Amino acid sequence: MRPIRIIVIASTIAVLTLAGCATPSVERSRPASIGGRPCCKAGDSSVTRADVVRSAARLVGAYEIEVDGRRIVEDCAGVTRAIYLEQGIDLYAGATGDAKTNGVRLIYSHVRQRGRMHHGPIPHPGDLVFFDNTWDLNGDGKLNDPLTHVGVVERIEADGTVVFISRVAEAIERYRMNLSLPHVHKTAEGRLLNDYIRRKRTTDPEEAGRLTGELFAFFGTRVTH
């Protein structure tokens, strides 16, 4: 398999650099050949969860992604799309929406057509994880912005903490979410349970959550067979 071409840099992510991930999509489905797999089938029984996770792990630390010489939009949806593109699956294919629809919602539409949405509580590696209200998408100062972030589940730790791969700020990194303790950033012992995923702004409503567990929407499982 010819891998996705990536450029990797060392990156330290600070809370103050958190950015929204819901820009309008400018890339729709196009024919492409990724890693020897024809793109993009409705289902491929040869694609496993482990394949998806390996593709996701390879992108950790990357700030730029190219697929067969074509740049992928460098936001959370673009990263998630690239992970599946390496397996010959385009998460934008067949999705519905207008020109202002962001990539997260295109992926949501695709998965609803070809899989299922669920609340776990325990997902599987390779599943998608969706978030609401990670930033004020419509700019009205209210918590009414569904489907603003997406990532790919890499593993589930012994305490139930979900480790997922996504782009929140300057590079692709691993993030954590614990749905049993959604309002806890770290334990008293310093163990990280929930990463910050929303930047704190003076215009935010008082009840605005900032942690992954607080802004979790649902998991998505795409059927590949």
Distance between CA atoms of residues 80 and 2, nearest Å: 18
180 φ/ψ angles, rounded to the nearest 5 degrees: -75, -30
Find the range with the poorest average confidence among 36-40, 62-66, 154-158, 187-191.
36-40
Q: Which two tokens stand for residue 15?
A: 């809370």
- Model-level pTM greater than 0.85? no
Distance between CA atoms of residues 117 and 11, nearest Å: 32
Helix (H, G, I), strand (E, B) or coil at 44: coil
Helix (H, G, I), strand (E, B) or coil at 152: strand
Identify the helix (H) or strand (E) that includes residue 115.
strand 115-118
Higher pLDDT, 213 or 204: 213
Higher pLDDT, 150 or 3: 150
Helix (H, G, I), strand (E, B) or coil at 177: strand
Distance between CA atoms of residues 41 and 96, nearest Å: 17
Mean pLDDT of 189-209: 93
Nearest to 28 by CA among 86, 83, 81, 64: 81
Contact assessment for residue 170 and residue 13, using Cβ atoms and an 8 Å cutoff: yes
Q: Which two tokens stand for residue 138?
A: 């419509």
The yes-or-no verdict on residue 174 having pLDDT over 70 is yes
Mean pLDDT of 107-117: 93
Q: What is the DSSP letter of 214?
A: H
Q: In the structure, how many helices (H) and strands (E) does the chain have?
A: 4, 11
> pLDDT band at 38, cuts 50/70/90?
very low
Handedness of CA 3, 6, 9, 10 (dihedral sign): negative
CA distances from 211 to 84, 214, 219, 225 (A): 26, 5, 16, 34
Mean pLDDT of 68-94: 88
Distance between CA atoms of residues 12 and 51, nearest Å: 27
The whole-chain average pLDDT of the chain stands at 82
> pLDDT band at 149, cuts 50/70/90?
very high
Q: Please state the domain extents for the chain.
A: 5-222
> pLDDT per residue over 23-34, tens digit each?
544 443 333 233
